[in-house]
C-alpha cells in the first residue's frame, strides 16, 4: 500500500499558503514508491469509490478541538495531506487525512496503525514531529509538523544539482535524524529526496514512515521488497532482508542524486535498473572531487558489511576537509548560494593573502584566478597551499656564523 508523503509548501501571509502537490514522480528521477513480493512493474489498481470531500471545519471528538481544513498539500494512493489550522491556537499542521473507506481491509488498517505507533514515539530535531491523531465517522486524521519550504525533491527540481557545501549541510542533518531512528531500532526503508522536508529555518526533517519497520535480528528480518526502485539495495532485491545497511545504501543514492541531479542506478528500463543495483554498477563523473567519490563508493558497496556506519560517514574526509555552512538562506531553494561573502574561512584567507601579497594588483590577480573555480572547497584548499608557499618565500634565510 502506498502511503502519503508529508508534503510541505511555502508560507503565506496571515496563515499558511498552500503549494502544489508533490505526489507522483519527483525531481532527480524518483519513481513512485511501490511494494510487492517481486520487483514491482506497475502500481496496483485502486478499488473503491472516490472519498467524500473533507469537511471545512473538523472537530476532534476526543478533545472537542476544532480545526479549519486548508488546501491540499499532497496526494497519495489512500490519503491526502491538507493544511489544517487549530482554531484556538492558530497553529498550522500538515494533516494526513485517510478515509475509512480506503483502509477497510484489516491489513490496510494495520499498516496505518503501525505507522502511527512508530511515528508518535519519535522526538528529534531532524524528524518530522508527530503531534496528534484522532478519528471521526468518516476519516482518520494524523497531525504532523508543518514544513514550509517543501521537500528536497522540490529544491532539486528547481536547482538541478547542489553544491558540495549544501550537500554537507543537508547530509549532516539526515545522518543525525537517521542515527536517532537506528538507535530506536527503527529502519526508515524509504529514504529519498521526497521524504526530506525543509522548515522555514531551512532545517531538514525526515518524514513519511509508511514503510518504516522495527529492526529485527538477521534471521528474522523482513524479506519483502519495498521502497522506491532507484534507492533499493542489492540485499533487499535479493530478499536477504532490510537492515541499517540498507538505509546507508539509500543515503549513498541520495548523496549522488544531490550532487549530480539523478539517481546512480536510474535507467529507462526497470529490469536494467535492478540489474545495475545487484551488480552495484554505476558511474562517478570526473567532475566530482575525490572525497565525494570515495564516500559515495563506500556507501554503495555491494556487500552490506563493507558500508560505513553513520559515525564513520560524519568522520569522513568529505565532511572534515570541506566547508559546511551553519545555515542556508531560503533563496537556496531556487538559486545557487554565494558562499564567498558568508564563509568566515574565505574572509580570513582573503585578509591573510592581502597582507602577504601587499599590492592590490597582485591580490586582485590572485583572487581572480581562484574565483573561477566552481567549487568552494577547491578554492579554499588552493588558497591554503599558496599562502603557505608565500609565507615561506618571504622569510629571510637564516645562516649560521662562526664566532
Please enumerate, by residue number, every residue annotated as part of a binding site for ATP.
105
Binding site per annotation, positions = 105
- Phi and psi at residue 34, to the nearest 5°: -135, 160
Residue whose grid cell is 566530482: 288
**And the C-alpha cell for 371?**
574565483
Catalytic residue among 60, 113, 136, 190: 190
Specify whether 190 is catalytic. Answer: yes
Count of positions (residues) in the chain: 403
DSSP secondary structure letter of residue 231? G
If we measure between CA atoms, which residue out of 342, 366, 344 comes closest to residue 353?
366
Enumerate the H helices of 22-66 as residue ranges: none
> Sign of the CA dihedral 249, 255, 259, 263?
positive
> 127 — alpha (psi -120 to 50), left (phi > 0) or beta?
beta
What is the DSSP secondary-structure string of 54-101?
A: PPSEEE-TTT--EEEEEEEEEE-SS-EEEEEEETTT--EEEEEEEEGG
CB-based contact 172:314 (threshold 8 Å): yes
Catalytically active residues are 190
Amino acid at each position: 500500500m502506498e502511503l502519503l508523503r508529508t508534503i510541505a509548501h511555502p508560507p503565506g501571509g496571515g496563515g499558511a499558503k498552500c503549494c502544489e502537490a508533490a505526489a507522483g514522480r519527483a525531481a532527480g528521477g524518483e519513481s513512485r514508491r511501490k511494494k510487492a513480493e517481486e520487483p514491482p512493474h506497475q502500481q496496483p489498481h485502486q478499488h473503491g469509490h472516490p472519498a467524500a470531500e473533507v469537511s471545512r471545519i473538523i472537530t476532534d471528538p476526543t478533545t472537542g478541538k476544532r480545526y479549519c481544513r486548508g488546501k491540499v498539500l499532497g496526494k497519495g494512493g489512500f490519503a491526502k495531506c491538507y493544511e489544517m489550522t487549530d482554531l484556538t491556537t492558530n497553529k498550522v499542521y500538515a494533516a494526513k487525512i485517510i478515509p475509512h473507506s480506503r483502509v477497510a481491509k484489516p491489513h490496510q488498517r494495520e499498516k496505518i496503525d503501525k505507522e502511527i505507533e512508530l511515528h508518535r514515539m519519535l522526538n528529534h530535531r531532524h524528524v518530522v514531529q508527530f503531534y496528534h491523531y484522532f478519528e471521526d465517522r468518516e476519516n482518520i486524521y494524523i497531525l504532523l509538523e508543518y514544513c514550509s519550504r517543501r521537500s528536497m525533491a522540490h529544491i532539486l527540481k528547481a536547482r538541478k544539482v547542489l553544491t558540495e557545501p549544501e550537500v554537507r549541510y543537508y547530509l549532516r542533518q539526515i545522518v543525525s535524524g537517521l542515527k536517532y531512528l537506528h538507535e530506536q531500532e527503527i529502519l526508515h526503508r524509504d529514504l529519498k529526496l521526497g521524504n526530506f522536508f525543509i522548515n522555514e529555518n531551512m532545517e531538514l526533517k525526515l518524514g513519511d514512515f509508511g514503510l518504516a519497520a522495527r529492526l529485527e535480528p538477521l534471521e528474522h528480518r523482513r524479506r519483502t521488497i519495498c521502497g522506491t526502485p532507484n534507492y533499493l539495495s542489492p540485499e533487499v532485491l535479493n530478499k536477504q532482508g532490510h537492515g541499517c545497511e540498507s538505509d546507508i545504501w539509500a543515503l549513498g543514492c541520495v548523496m549522488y542524486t544531490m550532487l549530480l541531479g539523478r539517481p546512480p542506478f536510474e535507467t529507462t528500463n526497470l529490469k536494467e535498473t535492478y540489474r545495475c543495483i545487484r551488480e552495484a554498477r554505476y558511474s562517478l563523473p570526473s567532475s566530482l572531487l575525490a572525497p565525494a567519490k570515495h564516500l559515495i563508493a563506500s556507501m554503495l558497496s555491494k556487500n552490506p558489511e563493507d558500508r560505513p556506519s553513520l559515525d564513520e560517514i560524519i568522520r569522513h574526509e568529505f565532511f572534515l576537509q570541506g566547508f559546511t555552512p551553519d545555515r542556508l538562506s531560503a533563496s537556496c531553494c531556487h538559486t545557487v548560494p554565494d558562499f564567498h561573502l558568508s564563509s568566515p574561512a574565505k574572509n580570513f584567507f582573503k585578509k591573510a593573502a592581502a597582507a602577504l601579497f601587499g599590492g592590490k594588483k597582485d591580490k586582485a590577480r590572485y583572487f581572480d584566478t581562484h574565483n573561477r573555480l566552481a567549487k568552494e572547497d577547491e578554492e579554499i584548499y588552493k588558497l591554503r597551499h599558496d599562502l603557505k608557499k608565500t609565507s615561506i618565500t618571504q622569510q629571510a634565510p637564516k645562516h649560521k656564523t662562526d664566532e
